[in-house]
Structure 1
Amino acid sequence: MQDDLTLIMDDTADLMKKAIGHLELELTKIRAGKANPQILDGITVDYYGAPTLLSQVANISVVDARTLTIQPWEKNMLQPIERAIIAANLGINPQNDGIIIRMFLPPLTEERRKELVKRVNGEGEQAKVAIRNIRREAIESIKKLQKDGLSEDTAKDAEADVQQLTDKHIALIDKHCEAKDKEIMAI
């Protein structure tokens, strides 16, 4: 019984860490004024009929604070890469010179910064929902163990531990979102 409870607590903590990791990954994709190759993460290119990540068909580098360059490993990949970037709707137009693709990131307007802050807060809210769902599943598992013979006091203590873990991770989400908001609103 105690082993099952330990397993539930470990799984819950692990799943919550993964939810935080996912939030961190999503927040790095939201640009905050500086050129960052991670804004291109997740963009897939048609590579001879197979959808392939952009980072696997080209070298992405930061030239300066507002410029990214994309050097495809094969020259015939310039057009598919350009189409994929346009289709990703990043708000940045790629410029193809026949050798490399340059992306000039325009300075963020106040209106665009507010949109990005809303997007950050939306990602944070999704992460909180994920954490709460993990909590609900853990508490349901604890209640099943209680029906199978776990003492009521032990079950209540375990539920309190799950709630404490949930509160800790939700505070961490708020901290990440607040830091990203400050980064976006800094001029």
Structure 2
Amino acid sequence: MSDEIEIDTDDLERRMDGAIASLRNDFASLRTGRASASMLDPVSIDAYGADTPINQVGTINVPEPRMLTLSIWDKALVGKVDKAIRSSGLGLNPVVDGTLIRLPIPELNEERRRELVKVAGQYSESAKVAVRNVRRDGMDMVKKAKSAGLSEDDAKFYSDEIQAMTDATIKKIDQALESKQEEIMQV
């Protein structure tokens, strides 16, 4: 391979891995009827004069698959946390016991499960689009390098490598989607 002209495949791979990480983060926010500490990530309260995420005012635990507990460090914030969770639109009904808040996770009905599967599909499609955009950027780099003197063999090598990375990443996205769909539809 040419010493002076090289395509940064590590950067492309890092960007594709970023798309998968973003997809997993999106999937974590989908409520599947199972408890997950990340379910409370969008909830914040006004604590000490600043908008504060709930995970910074207490400890979130998952003692059983359909229960979250939130141990609030400052007793004065318990009411605010309770109110924030109720008004968050997550469909959770907190049970306050001193500084401990229990959050039972209700069962999902069949219709809501199907909607969540569609949303998961949209998330995975967005991730695939992001990966294809990274692939396009990589192929554009190969074309520019080729016009700057990259040999035909090297250009073919880089193109094949970028395509292989893309295929592997798309496969990972499909596997993550399949896994999430099974989790959502599990009763």
1:118-176 CA-to-partner distances (Å, cap 9, x unmatched) read 12111111111111111111112222222222123322321222112111101110111
When residues 156 and 87 of structure 1 are mapped into structure 2, their CA distance, relative to the original with a 3 A threshold, is farther
CA–CA distance in 1 between the matches of 2:142 and 2:33? 46
1:69-112 CA-to-partner distances (Å, cap 9, x unmatched) read 21211122223323433454222233445533222211111011
Indicate the residue corresponding to 1:141 in structure 2. 141
Counterpart AA for 1:186: Q
Residue 42 of structure 1: CA displacement?
4.1
Q: State the identity %.
A: 40
Q: Which runs of 5+ in 1 are unaligned?
A: none
When residues 94 and 175 of structure 1 are mapped into structure 2, their CA distance, relative to the original with a 3 A threshold, is same
Indicate the residue corresponding to 2:81 in structure 1. 81
> Which structure 2 residues correspond to residues 119-138 of structure 1 after superposition, within 5 A?
119-138=119-138
Counterpart AA for 2:6: L
Indicate the residue corresponding to 1:49 in structure 2. 49
TM-score (ref. length: structure 2) = 0.87
Residue 38 of structure 1: CA displacement?
2.2
> Which structure 2 residues correspond to residues 157-176 of structure 1 after superposition, within 5 A?
157-176=157-176
Indicate the residue corresponding to 2:151 in structure 1. 151
Residue 47 of structure 1: CA displacement?
2.5
3-state SS of the aligned residue for 1:126? helix
Counterpart AA for 2:184: I
> Which structure 2 residues correspond to residues 1-187 of structure 1 after superposition, within 5 A?
2=3, 5-6=6-7, 8-97=8-97, 99-187=99-187
CA–CA distance in 2 between the matches of 1:30 and 1:158? 37
3-state SS of the aligned residue for 1:5? coil
Which moved further from structure 2: 78-87 or 48-57? 78-87
CA–CA distance in 2 between the matches of 1:52 and 1:64? 26
Which moved further from structure 2: 66-75 or 97-106? 97-106
When residues 141 and 56 of structure 1 are mapped into structure 2, their CA distance, relative to the original with a 3 A threshold, is same
When residues 88 and 154 of structure 1 are mapped into structure 2, their CA distance, relative to the original with a 3 A threshold, is farther
CA–CA distance in 1 between the matches of 2:114 and 2:29? 16
Q: Confirm or deny: 8 A CA contact 2:67 2:102 kept in the other structure.
A: yes
1:11-35 CA-to-partner distances (Å, cap 9, x unmatched) read 1111111211221222223232222
Q: What count of residue pairs does the alignment treat as equivalent?
A: 186
CA–CA distance in 1 between the matches of 2:4 and 2:48? 51
Q: Which runs of 5+ in 2 are unaligned?
A: none
Structure 1 stretches of 4+ with a deviation exceeding 6 A read none
CA–CA distance in 2 between the matches of 1:81 and 1:147? 60
1:33-55 CA-to-partner distances (Å, cap 9, x unmatched) read 22222212343332223233221
Q: CA RMSD in A?
A: 2.1
